[in-house]
């Protein structure tokens, strides 16, 4: 569980948002006692076939300097906090190397920046962070380009009442408790019917049985524009973290659809936590 995470991985390309992601990871480590690893992946330059080793050596030296600088900035910020931070360099394709590092290092949580790129699919999240969110075996906290310093107050947990949602709701509630945060559970449906009402009441009863109601609020909204409704909800409730459950077919996938990027611009300022719905 995130609330008891022992190892947090922070992939970095040395951008402003990846540096902010490290600060977020530091605040979480303060609460959980997790150790941190900052990872930079060097992708081999295929346009230098005659001197690849020399170019990689140069890139490694440059990356090490940036990693050392990040480490210095981190320990300045978290002086006296006794948080263990180590560096890691890998060579290869960023996505595959990050996924490999998650398994090799027994990572419990990935915290990474999500700078925008100028293409339709990656306009919101950036290609690497989007691919990690969709394929990681552990939760991923994506910190956007314009995120402010960590201030978790109100979480938005979206649900479609799938089997893994309640497990993830309990995990979210435990994580929120670390920061004294409120969790808003939201289900948006195009039409209200008996099945939806039964599921909505059922998840509230389950939450009551698990003694989760203290910091949980429940909202059922009828609207055909699901993504647009989520955006309005984020604004009206002053949400500081959006939690999504990842399935083969889920809201998360629709967020990566170019038709929704304009509606979802609000998430360029709000971190997104993606939990694995299917084990």
Domain ranges of the chain: 2-144, 154-276
| CA distances, 50 to each of 26, 54, 61 (Å) | 41, 9, 19
Number of H helices, E strands in the chain: 8, 10
Neighbours of 129 (CB within 10 A): 30
Average the pLDDT over 153-178 and give the result: 92
- Residue whose entry in the numeric block shows the structure tokens 């979210």: 172
Same CATH fold, 154-276 and 2-144? Answer: yes
Does position 95 have pLDDT exceeding 60, yes or no? yes
Q: How far apart are the first and last CA of the chain?
A: 14
Residue, of 4 and 118, whose pLDDT is higher? 4
pLDDT recorded at residue 80? 87
pLDDT recorded at residue 31? 94
Residue whose C-alpha is closest to residue 117's, from 99, 131, 106, 105: 131
3-state secondary structure of 234: helix
- Residue 103 φ/ψ, nearest 5 degrees: -75, -45
Instruction: Kindly state the percentage of the chain with pLDDT values over 70.
Output: 85
pLDDT recorded at residue 12? 93
Which tokens hold the place of 181?
């945060």
Rounded to 10 degrees, the C-alpha dihedral 105/109/115/120 comes to: 100
CATH T-level fold of 2-144:
Rossmann fold (3.40.50)
134, 27 Cβ separation under 8 angstroms: no
Instruction: Give the relative orientation of helices 16-32 and 165-179 as an angle to the nearest 10 degrees.
Output: 80
Residue whose C-alpha is closest to residue 105's, from 88, 83, 129, 128: 88
253 confidence band (pLDDT: 50, 70, 90): low
The CA-CA-CA angle for residues 45, 50, 52, to 5°, reads 35
Average the pLDDT over 106-126 and give the result: 65
The domain 154-276 is placed in CATH, from the list 3.90.1150.10, 3.40.50.620, 3.40.50.720, 3.40.50.300, at 3.40.50.620
């Amino acid at each position: 569980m995130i609330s008891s995470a022992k190892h947090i991985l922070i992939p970095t390309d040395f951008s402003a948002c990846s540096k902010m992601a490290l600060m977020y990871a530091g605040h979480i480590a303060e609460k959980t006692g997790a150790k941190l690893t900052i990872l930079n992946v060097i992708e081999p330059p295929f346009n230098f076939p005659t001197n690849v080793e020399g170019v990689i050596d140069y890139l490694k030296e440059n990356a090490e300097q940036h990693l050392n600088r990040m480490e210095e900035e981190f320990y300045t910020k978290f002086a006296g906090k006794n948080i263990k931070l180590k560096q890691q360099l890998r060579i290869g394709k960023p996505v595959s190397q990050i996924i490999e590092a998650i398994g090799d290092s027994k990572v419990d949580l990935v915290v990474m920046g999500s700078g925008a790129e100028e293409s339709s699919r990656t306009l919101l999240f950036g290609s690497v962070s989007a691919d990690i969110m969709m394929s990681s075996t552990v939760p991923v906290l994506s910190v956007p380009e314009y995120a402010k310093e960590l201030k978790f107050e109100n979480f938005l947990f979206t649900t479609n009442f799938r089997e893994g949602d309640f497990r993830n709701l309990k995990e979210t509630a435990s994580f929120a408790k670390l920061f004294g945060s409120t969790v808003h559970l939201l289900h948006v449906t195009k039409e209200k019917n008996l099945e939806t009402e039964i599921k909505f009441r059922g998840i509230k009863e389950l939450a009551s049985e698990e003694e989760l109601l203290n910091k949980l609020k429940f909202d059922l909204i009828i609207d055909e524009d699901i993504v647009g409704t989520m955006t309005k909800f984020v604004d009206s409730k002053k949400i500081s973290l959006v939690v999504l459950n990842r399935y083969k077919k889920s809201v998360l996938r629709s967020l990566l659809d170019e038709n929704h990027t304009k509606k979802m611009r609000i998430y360029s300022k709000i971190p997104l936590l993606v939990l694995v719905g299917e084990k």
